[in-house]
Every structure is written in C-alpha cells, then in structure tokens.
C-alpha cells in the first residue's frame, strides 16, 4: 500500500521548494501527495448577523482564489509528472489545521517551507513551521 505525503502550500518560494522536494520523494516512492492551503481564520470573534454573512462570502472567495491561483497550477504540475495528487483548502490556525489534515488523510510525512510569505507575520504571530512540528503526529520535513 502506498503512502501519502502532505505538503503545506502558501504560494511562497520556500513553499514551492517544499512541493518540489515532496514531488521528488513521491515520484521515487510512488506515494501520493496531498497539497494543503490553510487560510488563517479565527472562529473566536463576535459579529452581527450582517457581518457573519459578509464573512461567509469573503471566506468562500478566499477558498476560490487559493484553489485557482495556487493549488490548481501546482496540482496540474504534479499530475503531469504522473503523481497522484489531492488538494484541500481549509480555514483555521495554520499549524493545527495542517496537523489535523495530516491525520485526516493518513499521511506518513509532511513537507513545509521554513519560511512562508511574511517575515513580519512570523515575528508577530510565531512560526507556523514550529507549531506544526509541535503538533504533528508524523515526521515533518522542513525545506529551506
């Protein structure tokens, strides 16, 4: 039985390198790849009914944009290399959500870029990579 590899995708250069490393491992082993894009989203905020309706529209728009601009192009590249690929977009705390996706899809390995899109965000909110390493139930490969 083949395994699956989870790759955290964010559109950054290090994220793209993580995809390349995972693709190389998958092509050598025959494993499948799960591409995951997580949109930071806190459920712990209070809104009026109108704000909730607007928030839902914005959420759906973000999912569509992530699928079209990031996930679909990367998935097509992997499929062209004869790699079985699935793609998922979720909202939530990025590190915890990636860990949950890893458990849900039964992956055996996670690949993530060392640094995502925003250096400032890392300083202010902490490292997604560090959070994933702390919560993951499977090995995590950090790609520079």
Q: Which of 106, 138, 137, 132 is nearest to 15 (CA)?
A: 132
What is the rounded distance in angstroms from the CA atom of residue 85 to the CA atom of residue 80? 10
Domains of the chain in sequence order:
4-143 (3.40.50.620)
Query: Which DSSP category does 137 fall into?
Result: S
Q: At residue 118, does pLDDT exceed 70? A: no
What is the rounded distance in angstroms from the CA atom of residue 137 to the CA atom of residue 26? 20
Q: Which of 13, 59, 11 is nearest to 35 (CA)?
A: 11
The predicted structure's pLDDT at residue 125: 41
Q: What is the pLDDT of residues 23-65, one digit of tens each?
A: 999 999 989 999 999 988 766 566 667 776 777 677 788 888 8
Query: Which DSSP category does 73 fall into?
Result: H
Q: What is the pLDDT of residues 69-113, one digit of tens each?
A: 899 999 999 999 999 999 999 988 888 999 999 999 999 999 998
Query: Which DSSP category does 113 fall into?
Result: E
């Amino acid at each position: 039985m083949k395994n699956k590899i989870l790759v955290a995708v964010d559109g950054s250069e290090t994220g793209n390198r993580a995809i390349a490393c995972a693709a190389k491992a998958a092509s050598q082993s025959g494993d499948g790849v799960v591409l995951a894009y997580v949109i930071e989203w806190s459920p712990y905020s209070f809104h009026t009914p109108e704000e909730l309706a607007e928030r839902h529209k914005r959420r759906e728009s973000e999912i569509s944009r992530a699928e079209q601009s990031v996930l679909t192009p990367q998935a097509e590249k992997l499929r062209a290399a004869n790699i079985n690929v699935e793609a998922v977009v979720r909202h939530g705390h990025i590190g915890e959500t990636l860990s949950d996706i890893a458990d849900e899809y039964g992956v055996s390995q996670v690949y993530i870029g060392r640094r995502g899109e925003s250096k400032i965000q890392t300083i202010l909110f902490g490292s997604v990579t560090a959070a994933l390493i702390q919560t993951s139930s499977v090995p995590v490969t950090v790609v520079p």
